Chains A and B, each alone.
Chain A
């Protein structure tokens, strides 16, 4: 356990095995493992809003499953396009390292999220407002996403120095990931769980499109 946490510390510092230049020595399974465990940890905290009845325990479990699912499923959907773009840009020889760079970003996001989990719990203690809880979580995700971006940029810096086209590939990844991630988050909701609605894995309503909801909110049609 201590060894594992030391490794996470190394990852955060970008030192040792996780030094951007030391890709060959990095154990590949470590990044997905970090995403799964830390994102699940945050998910559990996220789902603990309005934790007053035993039935709400399920929301804790559901969210612990859904936050890692959100990250992994979004990545899986974006990977085919990312692979083809990398190949076309002549970056296939570096593809393993590109994958490590993008997954490092998500692992960074997950670790930061987990670190913010006590803050979220603290917020839930201080306010019972569902709307406030949603906004606070959105803020935490924004912070974690920025931190994750910094981590992945660390690895991409090495790649971009090797070949400037990596910059295009990185941007393409960010754009598709954001496009799909927003819709994925909307599809997998609820993460926090409104206190007025019975706990459920998915909302008991037909799937809808996040962008259309946003447009309708803005234009008010």
Chain B
């Protein structure tokens, strides 16, 4: 367990996606550890999300809390299961050099980054839950927090893909090219963070950028709809507990509706 968190720390600090590590065409993210981490951290965010049903339903709805704890990691991992085959095929078509296992590992890594950021924002969500009864506000806040986490994860994915796309020969030269003259000496020894842009020949990045765009589109659309299918996560105070709601509507129309409701437009 402690070693898992050490590995998570290495992922967050960028040690696992260092240019040198990626050069050998493998992504050093053991699946068992990182899938477990995704479940634990996703469940942690789900835990904070589930507080709302504890505080705003009579009697306190522990089932909804449990459902949120289970559903949140499920949302990310099921979306990955649904989209992975197509993600991999596009990746191969466009000419990215990653093997199937590395692709999967990289994607799981991005999910872990996503849920880690979300879990670290969890205390803020918990605090707002304690002091808010408005259901639309909680929905909008959750969307905002998860969107922030999602964008950070996208940054991680894009930069890692670009690093993979670079030619292995370039790795040895990286420390010199990345530090400019006005930076101090110890900066040359600094390890690039996982979100750091590494200067490189832009011609090699074409495939990485296309793969990224395709992935974001696919994962985003499926993820949003998956979230819609798995609802309720927070649990409307007016409705009884259900594991799943009726299958109608979609994510985007509902998000807009809640937002307009919050600013009192209807």
Contacts and interface: CB of A to CB of B under 8 A. Distances in A.
Contacts of A87: 9, 12-13, 193
Contact of A180 (B127, B134, B190, B262): B127
A179 B132 CA distance: 14
A206 B132 CA distance: 9
B172 to A, nearest CB: 20
Contacts of B190: 90, 93, 163
Contacts of A187: 130-131
Interface of A: 76-78, 80-81, 83-85, 87-93, 162-163, 165, 176, 179-180, 183-184, 186-187, 206-209, 211-212, 215-216, 219, 221
Given A88-B152, A206-B133, A211-B137, A77 B193 contact: no
A208 to B, nearest CB: 7
A83 B192 contact: no
Given A81-B120, A84-B120, A87-B13, A165 B131 contact: no
Contacts of A80: 119-123
8 contacts: A81-B117, A83-B120, A85-B120, A89-B195, A90-B195, A180-B124, A209-B128, A212-B137
B13 to A, nearest CB: 5
Interface string B190-201: 111111100000
A84 B117 contact: yes
A77 B187 contact: no
Interface in B145-175: 152, 156
Nearest to A82: B120
Contact of A88 (B134, B137, B193): B193
Given A84-B12, A179-B124, A207-B130, 4 more contacts: A81-B121, A88-B117, A90-B13, A92-B12
B263 interface: yes
Interface string B243-262: 00000000000000000001
A88 B113 contact: yes
Nearest to A184: B127
A184 B123 CA distance: 13
A76 to B, nearest CB: 8
A103 B196 CA distance: 26
B264 interface: yes
B113 A207 contact: no
B227 to A, nearest CB: 21
Nearest to B182: A161
B143 to A, nearest CB: 14
Nearest to A91: B193
Contacts of B192: 90
Interface string B7-31: 0010011100000000000000000
Given A84-B12, A165-B196, A90 B117 contact: no
B203 interface: no
B193 A207 contact: no
A85 B155 CA distance: 12
A92 B131 CA distance: 33
Contacts of B9: 87
A165 B128 contact: no
B3 interface: no
A176 B117 CA distance: 13
Given A77-B127, A84-B117, A87-B9, A208 B191 contact: no
Nearest to B121: A81
B182 to A, nearest CB: 9
Contacts of B194: 88, 90
A220 to B, nearest CB: 8
B123 A209 contact: no
Contacts of B123: 76-77, 80
A206 B127 CA distance: 14
A215 B124 contact: no
